[in-house]
Amino acid sequence: MVNESSGTIEFRVEPRKVVEEVKEVFVTRPVTAETVPTRPITFIPEHTIQHVSLELPPGFNVDDISQGLTALINLLKELDAEITSLELKLDTESISLHMILKKSTLETLADSNVRIVMNLLSRMSKAENKAISMDIDLSKPVAEDSVRKVLGEYLKTRRSSFDKFLPT
């Protein structure tokens, strides 16, 4: 409160009202042969992913990867999802190759130009002895176990952003 006549500001401190806590009361029954305590069933949601990171070894088998991607596309169709972006990257000391498929369908994967570029990436990675990173973005989250069954050992665990600078 401002007191203009004396030119001072007065502060009044009022104590807050204490809110009483309501504690739940549980009625317990003695455990007998007829009553067996049970644990509540908890639902553990499965881990889902919307971004898939793959690490392809140097000189990867293009047919093997194509089959895995075809199986992934078929799985996503069943789940009413799709691949929104697929990017292959090879970074070496002298060259950097990137391929981005904006629309990844069965027809796109069967395209001869896509196969040519994937073969080039495979050959270059073998010559340079460097792994290729493949990043796949999905239209919606999908169970990680389902993706792991389709892509197998290529699916890598989460790595930090600086791992691409470490030797493979």
How far is 19 from 73, CA to CA, in rounded Å? 58
Least confident of 33-37, 55-59, 91-95, 105-109: 33-37
The model's pTM:
0.65
The CATH classification number of 48-165 equals: 3.30.1490
How far is 83 from 55, CA to CA, in rounded Å? 17
Tokens standing for residue 30: 């003695």
| Per-residue exposure over 95-109, b if at least 16 CB sit within 10 Å of its own CB, e if not | eeeebebeebeeebb
Of the CA atoms within 13 Å of residue 37, those in its CB half-sphere come to 5
Segments making up each domain of the chain, as ranges: 48-165
How far is 18 from 104, CA to CA, in rounded Å? 62
pLDDT at 161 over 60: no
> Would you state the pLDDT for residue 109?
87
- Mean pLDDT over 48-52 rounds to 89
> Would you state the pLDDT for residue 17?
66
